Structure 1
Amino acid sequence: MDINDNIDSPLELKISFNKLIEEYEALSNSEDAFTSNRANYILQLARDYPELRDGFSDVSVLETRKDVIKTILQDSFSPILTKNEIKTASVPFHNFIFNSSTRFNSILKTAGEDFQLQMKNMPEDDVYIISCTIILNFCYGFNLSFKRPFYYEIPDADGILRFYKILYNADFCEIIPKENAIEITQSDYDELLDNFENIELWKKKFPPNSYVFKGFVISNIFDVTDDQSISNIKTSLIGDKKRQDDEFSGEFHDVFRSLFGISDLKVGFSIYNQDEGFFERVYGSGMNSYLIGDKASKTCSDALCNSSYDRLLRESKFISISDVEGMFNNNEVPPPHIKSLYSQGVKSAIFAPIANEEGLMGIIEIVSGTPKVLNSINANKLIDVMPFIVSAVERTKSEEENLVEAIIQQECTSIHPSVKWRFAKEAKNFIKAELHGQKPSFKKIAFDNVYPLFGQIDIKGSSIARNTATKRDLTLQLSAARSLFEKASKKDALPIFEQLIYQINEYLADLNKNFQVDSEQQISAFLNEDIEPVFRHVRASYELKEEIDQYFESINEKGNTFYFHRKDYDDSIIKINREMTSLLDEKQLDAQAMYPHFFERFKTDGVEHNMYIGESITKEDSFNPIFLYNLRLWQLQVMCEMENAYYQKQSEWPVQLDVASMILVFNQPLSISFRMDEKQFDVDGTYNARYEIVKKRVDKAFIKGTNKRVTEKGKITIVYSQKQDEREYLGYVKFLQSKNYLDTDIEIVELEDLQAVTGLKAIRVSVLYHKAKDDKEYYTYDDLMKEIKA
């Protein structure tokens, strides 16, 4: 076997001891007799076996000359130190070792027969280029450094990975150009500096096997497990992998096992909630808390004894329990953290505070199922890693706060991306003014000449549905109360029982005949102030404890009344709004990709949305009316899709409600500004205020000369005032009819006058529905209802 087999390299490798023998030639003239005699002895061996000096690549020579080679290398591999030093002799960038110390051999033997020695950090794809950089240094004197730390990862007897750093001694190497070597000039060097990854260029300058490597390298190897473990912990904490990642969790446990040298070691965390005085678990894959066990949180007093509390929270010092079982058995009332550890099978543990200048943030928990292996002595290993853990927790807290802020922004007071640039610009001006010692103020943010679009999908009869649910809940509660008093009367016919039954019957009759706005309030007051105090007396005296307890369990804490039918109604509204906003938000991504514009939506009894499009929002000289027309058509189509999505899901909701959709067309550009007090955009100017009046009232408007609302279930209503708007939208309607979004029953109606607004008209057209997303059939609203009920 030749060591150059299957190697693509500019270097032809030859094992040679020439440079080492040259050192002995110098030592042969030493005044020290022992040194000179030893050197002459080595030189005589070298003369007898010239191939050791000339170099060879046939590995069989190593076997036939092994005794001679061992003698030549004896000074480099001292027999006195061989059991302590970790050392090898090899050729560079090759896992071929031909001499090694006793300790290195012992380490490999412990790793097992199946273990394959592999150098870490060795970039296999770049070995050719790295060899070229070595040639540049050796042969041409260029000071080009490519020094990277190389490691072996070798398991010990317990299967724990230990890390060994390799330091090369290249004193006994030489590189000699062959006939096919190309002379490297300064310009060649300059070109190579900017082309590290261009392998073809490097091969052109350094053809394969164009140089001879003669010699060998001595690898001095050091156990750096502690240092590398600390580095790996740091890398884990600052890396991109998240705590929900199974791989991250496993690797994190492994590096701590290497640091402590304990195979069954586990790591837990608990977060300290200072505001509430709780320890809380960290949620994520493989993230346990041995301090609080399987609970979501624990008060500090329930998790720790007083002395441990003081040490961890007040002194910010670690605590260690080397023998959990012994402490549990030797205490009549074991401390709470000992009970928690004992119940989880932990035999020894270390708790260390994660704290900064502001105080405690959490606890890192190192545990083992083996007694005594964790103790106050090796707890000091944590000192070197705690700064990284503290930094990681600080960063995580900051990220969580940013995420919370982002969610609040998204759900409550979000600044739409289309206008965020304007807020950022003003914020920078604010900061500049403050830095220059001026009194900063956040100036008005306004956008002129923008076109508005408004749409809503409104739940029809929501007030009636809620009133019906309220009446049913109150009827249920009054009936339950009456039944309890009737049972109490049978045991003791007190007049107060009869009087309360009479009042209950009056309220029940009134509910059926005349439910007013204040009826709910009156009945709730009666139930809370008159009924409940009597029930508390009856509960103790009339053997109705279970039934009265059931009555109180049925009461909603917020409203102090039964909450069954209203819950169904509220749940339906929540689910409807969630479904509709989700679809609208998804569709908005496509619309923004067409042309950026401002968008906001609101959850009411249904979903409303505002859009504004124009030059001042996009910040670019690119606006064209075609983008407005495109957005109008998009809006009409999406409203049809939302109607379809609603009725496809309707059967899943507790209360079956209908919806009606409306679009308001306003063809004049207007100005909008951000109102800091309400954290939202509003229109500017008296004339523009007309638009807001119409938005708020138009869906309740009647068709002129009728008592019929302009919005109707099963139809899309498009409200406008200009003839050109009518022509434009009739074109959109015709297009969507061709795509089976809309029916052919177009009607144009006039609206009765609103306050300060006259001349409004509306196009009304029925939506065509599909029973499912992939359903090719389409139906009118009435057809769909028949199909659903069939």
Structure 2
Amino acid sequence: MHTEVLNISKNDCNVCQVETCLTFDPFVAHLQERVKTEKTLKSEFYKYVLNKFETDLCIDLEVNPDYAEMYRGTLELIYSILTPPILNEKEFFWALSTPVPEKIFFSTEAFFEFHSSHHSGLYAVNMPDQDLFAQRQKRFIYNLILERMYGFSTILRNELLYSYVDPDTKLTRYYNIFTNPQFVNVVAKGELPVLSFEAIEPYLNDFEGIDVLERILPLSNFKFEGFSVITLTDVTLPHAMESIRNELVNHSSNETEQYEHIINSLKTLSEDPAIEFGLMPFLTVNNRPIFDTDECSQSVLMSSAKKYSMAEETFVAIADDYNRNPKPIFFNVINDEKTIKFPFLKVLKQSGVKSYGIFPVYYNKKNVGILEVYAYKEIAFYEKLLSKLQTAMPLIAQLLQNSIDQFNDRIERIIKDKFTSLQPSVQWKFNEVAWEYLKSGNKKRKNQEIETVVFDNVYPLFGAIDIRNSTIERNTALQDDLKGFLTLVMETLAKLKKHIHLRLIDNLVFKCDEWLQKVSGFITTNDELTLDGFVKDELNPFLEHFRQNYPDEKPVIDKYFAALSEDTGLSYANRRNLENSMQLINNSINHYLEVAQDEVQESYPCYFEKFRTDGVEYDIYIGQSIAPSRVFDLLYLKNIRLWQLRSMAEIARLTNSLTDQISHPLQTTQLIFIHSNPIQISFRNDERRFDVEGAYNIRYEVVKKRIDKVLIAGTVERLTQPGKIAMVYFNANEATEYHEYIKYLQDSHILNNDLEYLDLEELQGVTGLKALRVGVNYDFKS
């Protein structure tokens, strides 16, 4: 035991601003009470200690901490009474301090050594300045005053979490410092102020109310007598477990950071600096394992597999095999013999891993991933470590399951966002149908099918922006690429012929010339496939042979093979430029519609669905059944029709403005189908989209699909033309309504004054179609 004085604060000063007196009187009073009530042999020991106090010193004596050695025998008796006899002072962190913890005057060997090696002060953790230390001291003081003098208890305990990095293991350890004021008396100097619990309650359980308490209860009015007992408890393991729990519940970091934090807690839990940990959830897409995610980056096996290019197929096979028979696997040493038996160990060995183990992790009896334990030196996986890890396994299982759920949610969000998004205008209906389905399930109806989502009496609007002659443009680009490719082949063969004298070269040149003549005319799909076979089966093997065996010819042949790349090769240049140009146009149209439809939704909720063709098509449905909480009027239909016409003009101007940005000149046509009668639509669960219902309604869909290439009656001229908007209709009243919109937009200089009234050719099963067509003013500045 040690009687040297240790300063709790790193500064040797009185920061508590309250008078204190170190005395044994409260302890003696406690012993006197215990002697009266104790019925066991302990009472004799208590009497013995009381007798020592009475003969060796004056009970009321104020003790100077610096002279604690004078009372060593008495202090050891206090230690004997207050601690279990079997404790070893070299392992037990225990000490006595002044009433308000400032100076420690008696301590165990373990406490003294611990404090000496952390000379910055135990209470300095997370309190970098003296003011914070003073605040904690004041909180301790007021807790005692309110409890002892007023009977007001607080929930703030007299304890502090202390952490430090062990210099030997480099791991963080945690200790709980608890101050027991059982043997401290609080003495009031003068009359106590009257306090009500309601007035003081807001300041009982936080540090922010200290200033208020100081005004109400000045510390100069009190005196603390006695001593405090301080104990340190190693809480490293429970703190590591609590850190994992907190990270799971409260984490605000991304998943990679969350995994790193939890792995650090596992290292603390292991208490062995040589042991490392990895975590990997079993993520799947269509029941096939996938590993290229942030969650898998914390796996040493996965990172090693990427670093040393393990084939994904091999890794998937390993994962599938392990999933069929998950069990703990340990390799205390990874040597050549084991890498032959277990090939996946090879990449670990290349990464420097010497010992490796896997724990399968289960959540609700399902294997959700693995916990890896590994080291860069040879170690044995002892039972003690396995026991510690078992306590953390339920939390690890929750982490891995969370990762699986979050991954699946991300996939689902992308699908909904990019493919089958339920717009807010119709989401309410799906919610109602889903709830009815749930209620039916609760009533345990067998084979209950979910109700079809239907909207009655909605008005349809159809629009199509098409890239003019896209099929012809594709064929032309293909022909130009094939001509360029065959010309390059013939040039390559001609250069080879100068140094390699083979009649086979002449034969290949002849074939290429034949193909060049053929592709200059009309080329069929079958021709394209036959040419592809000629290139792969004859040309490529022939040229590859000379590239490998004739180093001088390699630069010429490399140029040929470089041209075959779809991403960068000259043989695909025209098709690549065409596709890039079409993509730019379609992306621009899609972006415009995404932004512009917000204006429509603000006027009255509607369903807006786009489709990708060579251009962009869209359906809009509006009506009372889509928004039953709002009154529908035909004025909303007229408003959206005007919006559609104006938006088509703006899209035409937008695509025309892209001419300088695209490498392949393209034009768009704009088409609107006017249908005045309401229809019924329903959601097709199999196709995850809305479709029309009923024979009459289906006629609308048929017309919509056939008018894109319709001709003007008695001519060979297509209705749709670049720079113009075509509006197809049946009813003359529809033309009258749209004529008003067109006149308004002409007066606004958005449309040209070239309106045409046109009759259209008869289509299969469709007669009586008419159209309006008007030009777009490209010079208009909005």
Task: Please give the alpha-carbon distance, in whole angstroms, between the structure 2 residues aligned to 1:345 and 1:450.
Answer: 68
Q: Give the counterpart letter for 1:431 in structure 2.
A: L
- 2:620 is matched with 611
Question: For residues 38 and 685 of structure 1, what CA distance do their matches in structure 2 show?
Answer: 105
- Does 1:343 find its partner at 2:350? yes
1:280-299 CA deviation, whole Å, 9 max, x = no partner?
Answer: 35436963524651517746
Kindly indicate whether residue 60 of structure 2 is the aligned counterpart of residue 34 of structure 1. no
Q: Which residue of 2 aligns with 1:316?
A: 327
Conservation of the 8 A alpha-carbon contact between 2:679 and 2:697:
yes
Provide the rounded CA distance (Å) in 1 between the counterparts of 2:585 and 2:242.
51
- CA 1:291–1:542 in 2, change beyond 3 Å: closer, same or farther? closer
**Cα distance, 1:106–1:205 mapped onto 2, change above 3 Å:** closer
Q: Is the 8 A contact 1:181 1:206 kept in 2?
A: no
Q: Which amino acid letter does the alignment assign opposite residue 53 of structure 2?
A: A
In the TM superposition, what whole-angstrom CA distance separates every residue of 1:259-309 from its partner, at most 9, and x where no partner exists?
223446543345557899978354369635246515177469967999x99
Shift of 1:87: 2.9
What SS does structure 2 have at the residue aligned with 1:601? strand
Label 1:168 to 1:342 Cα distance change in 2 as closer, same or farther (>3 A). same
Q: Tell me which residue corresponds to 1:775.
A: none
Q: Superposed, which structure 2 residues align to 1:65-214 within 5 Å? A: 74-77=76-79, 81-89=88-96, 96=102, 98-99=104-105, 100-111=107-118, 113=120, 117-118=124-125, 150-158=160-168, 159-173=170-184, 179=191, 181-184=193-196, 188=198, 207-209=216-218, 212=222, 214=224
Q: Which residue of 2 aligns with 1:758?
A: 769
Q: State which drifts further: 161-170 or 481-490.
A: 481-490
* 1:218 aligned partner: 229
In the other structure, the counterpart of 1:234 is 245
Report what 1:444 is aligned to: 452
1:292 and 1:238 map into 2 onto residues whose CA distance is: 27
Pair 749,112 (structure 1): closer, same or farther in 2 beyond 3 Å: farther
Structure 1 equivalent of residue 439 of structure 2: 432
Task: Compute the displacement of 1:674 (Å).
Answer: 1.8
Letter of the 2:526 counterpart:
Q
Cα distance change on mapping 1:113 and 1:618 into 2, 3 Å: same
The offset of 1:570, in angstroms, is: 3.1
CA distance in 2, matches of 1:582, 1:89: 74
Stretch of structure 1 that moved more, 355-364 or 414-423: 355-364
Q: Which stretch of the first structure deviates more once superposed, 372-381 or 162-171? A: 372-381
Counterparts in 2 of 1:624 and 1:206: CA distance versus 1, 3 Å: farther
Q: Is the 8 A contact 1:446 1:671 kept in 2?
A: yes
Pairwise CA RMSD = 5.3
Match of 1:23 in 2: 30
Once residues 97 and 739 of structure 2 are traced to their aligned partners in structure 1, the CA distance between those partners, rounded to angstroms, is 88
Task: Give the residue type in structure 1 aligned to 2:463.
Answer: G
User: Does structure 1 retain, via aligned residues, the 8 Å contact 2:304–2:351?
Assistant: yes
- Which amino acid letter does the alignment assign opposite residue 38 of structure 1? K
2:555 aligned with 1:581: no
Unmatched runs of 5 consecutive residues or more in structure 1: 6-11, 53-61, 770-777, 780-790
User: Could you report, residue by residue, the CA deviation over 1:660-694 in whole angstroms, capped at 9, with x for unpaired residues?
Assistant: 44555555544322233432212345555565455
Counterpart position of 1:400 = 407
How far residue 402 of structure 1 moved from its aligned partner, in angstroms, is 2.9
C-alpha distance after superposition, 1:144-195 (max 9, x if no partner) = 756698522222214421111344534234567874633436xx49x95999
- Per-residue CA deviation, residues 405-459 of structure 1 (Å, 9 max, x unaligned), is 3323333333333212212221222233244343412223222343434434332
Q: 1:510 to 1:350 in 2, by over 3 A?
A: closer
Q: Describe the SS at the equivalent of 1:657.
A: coil
In structure 2, distance between residues paired with 1:724 and 1:614? 19
Q: What is the identity, as a one-letter code, of the residue corresponding to 2:164? A: I
Report % sequence identity.
Answer: 23
CA distance in 2, matches of 1:298, 1:305: 12
Range moving further from structure 2, 751-760 or 75-84: 75-84
The equivalent residue for 1:749 is: 756
CA distance in 1, matches of 2:356, 2:294: 21
Which residues of structure 2 form unaligned runs of 5+?
A: 1-12, 37-42
Aligned pair count? 728
Distance (Å, rounded) in 1 between the aligned partners of 2:150 and 2:281: 59
In structure 2, the partner of 1:372 is 379
Question: Which residue of 2 is the match for residue 48 of structure 1?
Answer: 61
Quote the offset at 1:503 in angstroms: 7.0
Query: Contact (CA 8 Å) 2:155, 2:205: kept in 1 or not?
Result: no
Distance 1:583 1:255, change over 3 A: farther
**Paired residues of 1:716 and 1:766 also in contact (CA < 8 A):** no
* Paired position in structure 1 for 2:10: none
Deviations 1:540-588 (A, max 9, x none): 9999988999878876899xx9755334433443454345434533554
Report the residue type matching 1:409 in the other structure: K
CA 1:193 to 1:549, structure 2 compared with 1: closer, same or farther past 3 Å?
Answer: same
1:227 to partner: Cα distance: 2.0
- How do 1:254-273 residues align onto structure 2 when only pairs under 5 Å count? 254-263=264-273, 266-270=276-280
Say yes or no: does 1:520 pair with 2:533: no
Describe the shift of the 1:350–1:76 C-alpha distance in structure 2 as closer, same or farther (beyond 3 A).
farther
Q: Which residue of 1 aligns with 2:683?
A: 674
Deviations 1:311-350, CA, capped at 9 Å, x for gaps: 99735114143x55xx46x889696455433432334444
For 2:5, the equivalent position in structure 1 comes to none
Q: How far 1:222 moved relative to its partner?
A: 1.2
What is the identity, as a one-letter code, of the residue corresponding to 1:470? L
Which amino acid in the other structure matches residue 224 of structure 1?
V
Match of 1:598 in 2: 607
SS in 1 for 2:740: helix
